């Protein structure tokens, strides 16, 4: 039996469509018409010889064969992208000093650093995981080349994502209507503390400070033990914690922007490549 070759461009369209939730959004992202994307998917089904899509509500879902093809498509595309990046990045050298909030330290940062180091082994990278206000201080000392920051604490920080702020507690924590809320918070200044307290004050909800810690892991531990609620985005939550929504008449919290700061408008090749990888990882995982 003669084997057929899968078109890399078609596989990328499939992956983008599934990531974004539809052919229309994929067409917009890829700069094509929706009919052209649909034609690509029909040709992919013909090449595979099996139906890949099924109706799912008002949209389309994947058949079992479609799930298989998507899994292999992601692996093929990742190898393709790694090969190109490695070949193009062989001459990238130098150093990068990079800062991230604690929310990213355990779950997201290791994968980013591993990917960057694999593609650019000649670059020396120094990563700092800390609170946003500490990262801003470090920036003021010209100690960071690139940093992700909560809010927009610097005029030249560029917003990259808006995320909801939520009440967080142990999965079995029950918020009783009208009870005094025990809170686990960072000491000020903290970009999450003030919005939470202001929301409670506006709703005239009683609260008390039950726990403080200089580290996010400390806040997670207090919440996991059922000692208090805390305030954060849903990013990087330990498995025993969960957003609590509006249960127990908790007031609504605002959104917060995640911004990216670069020390210089003209980036060195090493800093530019890390910035590119950061933005790609953020778009895929957040």
* Domain boundaries, given as residue ranges, for the chain: 8-88, 94-160+258-285, 166-253
The candidate with the shortest Cα–Cα distance to 128, out of 119, 120, 138, 140, is 138
Which CATH number among 3.40.50.720, 3.40.640.10, 3.40.190.10, 3.60.20.10 corresponds to the domain 94-160+258-285?
A: 3.40.190.10
The predicted structure's pLDDT at residue 219: 95
The predicted structure's pLDDT at residue 182: 95
Are 8-88 and 166-253 in the same CATH fold? no
Q: Where does the pLDDT of residue 1 fall: very low under 50, low under 70, confident under 90, or very high at 90 and above?
A: low
Q: Is the pLDDT of residue 8 over 70?
A: yes
Q: Of 91-95, 147-151, 193-197, 211-215, which gets the smallest average pLDDT? A: 91-95
Q: Where does the pLDDT of residue 251 fall: very low under 50, low under 70, confident under 90, or very high at 90 and above?
A: very high
Distance from C-alpha of 236 to C-alpha of 69, rounded to nearest angstrom: 29
Q: 114 and 143 in contact (C-beta within 8 Å)?
A: no
pLDDT mean across residues, the chain? 89
Look at the domain 8-88 and name its fold: Arc Repressor Mutant, subunit A (1.10.10)
Average pLDDT over residues 43-50: 90
Q: Of 55 and 51, which is predicted with more confidence?
A: 51
Q: Is the pLDDT of residue 90 over 60?
A: no
Q: Is the pLDDT of residue 91 over 70?
A: no
For domain 166-253, the CATH architecture is 3-Layer(aba) Sandwich (3.40)
CA 151: distance to chain centroid?
Answer: 15
Q: Of 108-122, 128-142, 192-206, which gets the smallest average pLDDT? A: 108-122
């Amino acid at each position: 039996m003669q084997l057929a070759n899968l078109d890399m461009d078609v596989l990328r369209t499939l992956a983008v469509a599934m990531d974004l939730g539809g052919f229309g959004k994929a067409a917009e992202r890829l700069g094509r018409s929706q009919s052209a994307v649909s034609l690509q998917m029909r040709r992919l089904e013909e090449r595979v010889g099996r139906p890949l899509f099924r109706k799912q509500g008002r949209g389309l879902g994947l058949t079992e064969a479609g799930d298989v093809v998507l899994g292999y498509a992601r692996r093929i595309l990742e190898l393709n992208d790694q090969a190109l990046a490695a070949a193009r990045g062989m001459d990238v050298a130098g150093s990068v000093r990079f800062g991230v909030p604690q929310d990213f330290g355990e779950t997201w940062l290791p994968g980013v650093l591993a990917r960057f180091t694999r593609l650019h082994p000649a670059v020396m990278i120094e990563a700092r995981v800390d609170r946003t206000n500490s990262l801003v201080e470090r920036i003021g000392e010209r100690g960071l080349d690139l940093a992700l920051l909560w809010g927009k604490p610097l005029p030249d920080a560029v917003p990259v994502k808006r995320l909801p702020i939520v009440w967080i507690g142990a999965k079995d924590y029950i918020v009783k209507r009208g009870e005094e809320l025990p809170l686990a918070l960072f000491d000020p200044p903290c970009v999450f503390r003030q919005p939470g307290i202001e929301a409670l004050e506006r709703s005239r909800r009683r609260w008390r400070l039950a726990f403080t810690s200089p580290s996010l892991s400390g806040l997670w531990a207090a919440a996991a033990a059922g000692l208090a609620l805390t305030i954060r985005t849903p990013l990087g939550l330990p498995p025993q914690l969960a957003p609590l929504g509006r249960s127990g008449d908790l007031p609504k919290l605002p959104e917060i922007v995640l911004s990216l700061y670069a020390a210089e408008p003209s980036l060195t090749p090493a800093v530019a490549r890390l910035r590119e990888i950061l933005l790609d990882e953020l778009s895929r995982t957040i």
